[in-house]
Copies of this chain bind each other. A is one copy, B any other.
């Protein structure tokens, strides 16, 4: 029978012993009978996403789980652009952008009073702009955030940020970061684009209304984090795969779109936080499994609690994740026509004590009728290290799952 894989990813799951939890990790301390059932059913291990001791970001961590490696990483800008639904082409320069308020040539508010409404219209007014032979794509993101893409020949991502990073300073002129003519050309064009943005935004009726209502106008754009889209084969093409991703968070969705995965999301009900609707998530995952061989089901909350340095909060987030795993287990008997392989992973560790990502390995499980079954019966960082998968890199883990889908060509004869 055909195998299909459902990969559950708990963002930032891995941790270290926490004093507040009697020197247990949040995963050891949590009630997690469903995750333990899955561990009992399959083979466990620990995974270094890229290499032992190297922390990775959420973007790179997910890219690795979706079939790529560090050399493929295009920078944050392109992944954010994919996350907002822009389909980048090789050579495109993508930048993270803010709507901001400028007054008398200085940045008065880097977030335009944390503008929440009307950014779609403002972005539409900028989208499609042409400067020299470069086309500008512009798309609003959450709140004051947006993404900008420069499309044209001979561009470079080696340019400085226009964002001065604090208020009261002028927008920084964009400078080339190397001596290449491409960087010089990109800096010149981007500066002209930003001037045009100010001209267009300051005359936009929506900003007049904001000012009339006593709100700060979103009359300027600040850019940062330029990245150039490399020539990357989509994972779905490389492996002749039908893949899907169920997630709320735009970075994860960006990495999934970049890999060519179909997106299942629901901004009304899935939040990227503890209050996310896990019924809806599992419903979408089951739906995706009907016509995809590889489905990712993501939960953000454990990572947020790690960044907050909140071990008890992380325990609660993990218990939500366990509840989501329970709903998946309930669905399995109803899934017919294929053999389900269930995998548990994380994109990196976010130890509460560090409040940042670390290079600690994350616990993994692969379970299914036809998966070798080891003696591990608990899902955590410690028991994982005793398991039948041993210690793997993220690439090994991905390749292992792909081999179960029979899409890895045999070498030799």
Residues of B within 8 A of A413 (CB): 57-60, 75-76
Contact of A381 among B351, B353, B357, B372 (CB under 8 A): B372
Contact A396 B25 (CB under 8 A): no
Knowing A57-B412, A353-B370, say if A385 contacts B387 (CB, 8 Å).
yes
Contact (Cβ within 8 A) B46 A359: no
Q: When A and B form their complex, which 4 residue pairs have the shortest distance between CB atoms, in order from nearest?
A: A60-B412, A53-B399, A57-B412, A52-B396
Task: Supply 5 A–B pairs (Cβ within 8 Å), ascending by A.
Answer: A43-B385, A57-B410, A359-B399, A374-B385, A381-B388
Asked whether B391 lies within 8 Å of A382 as measured between CB atoms, the reply is no
The answer to whether A400 touches B17, judged by C-beta atoms less than 8 angstroms apart, is no
Is B357 a contact of A16 with CB atoms below 8 Å? no
Copies of this chain in the oligomer: 2
CB distance from A321 to the nearest CB of B (A): 19
Alpha-carbon gap, A50 to B396, bound state (A): 11
Shortest CB–CB separation between residue A375 and chain B, in angstroms? 8
Contact (Cβ within 8 A) A390 B46: yes
Specify which of B48, B369, B389, B412 is in contact with A59 (CB 8 Å cutoff): B412
A: residues with CB less than 8 A from B are 16-17, 19, 23, 25, 43, 46, 48, 50-61, 63, 70, 73, 75-76, 351, 353-354, 356-360, 369-375, 381-382, 385-392, 395-403, 406, 408-413
When the two chains form their complex, are residues B16 and A53 in contact, meaning their CB atoms are under 8 A apart? no
- Does B353 contact A399, Cβ atoms closer than 8 Å? no
What's the minimum C-beta distance from A190 to chain B, rounded to whole angstroms?
A: 21
Which residue among A52, A371, A397, A402 has the maximum number of chain B CB atoms within 10 Å of its CB? A52
- A13 → B minimal CB distance (Å): 13
In the complex, the answer to whether A403 meets B359 with C-beta atoms within 8 Å is yes
Q: Is the CB of A54 within 8 A of B411?
A: yes
Q: Are B385 and A53 in contact (CB under 8 A)?
A: no
A374 touches B369 (CB 8 A): no
CB < 8 Å neighbour of A17 from B56, B369, B375: B369
A57 near B386 with CB under 8 A, answer: no
Having A52-B396, A55-B403, A75-B413, one finds 15 other A-B pairs with CB under 8 Å, namely A17-B373, A23-B373, A25-B372, A43-B385, A46-B388, A53-B402, A54-B399, A57-B410, A57-B411, A59-B412, A60-B412, A354-B406, A356-B410, A374-B385, A390-B391
Identify A390's interface contact among B370, B385, B410, CB under 8 A. Answer: B385
Q: Is the CB–CB distance between A412 and B61 below 8 Å?
A: yes
Q: A58 — which chain B residues lie within 8 A by C-beta? A: 412-413
CB neighbours (8 Å) of A397 from chain B are: 52
**A385-B390, A412-B73, A413-B76 are contacts. A403–B54 as well, Cβ < 8 Å?**
yes
In the bound complex, what is the Cα–Cα distance between A412 and B351 (angstroms)?
18
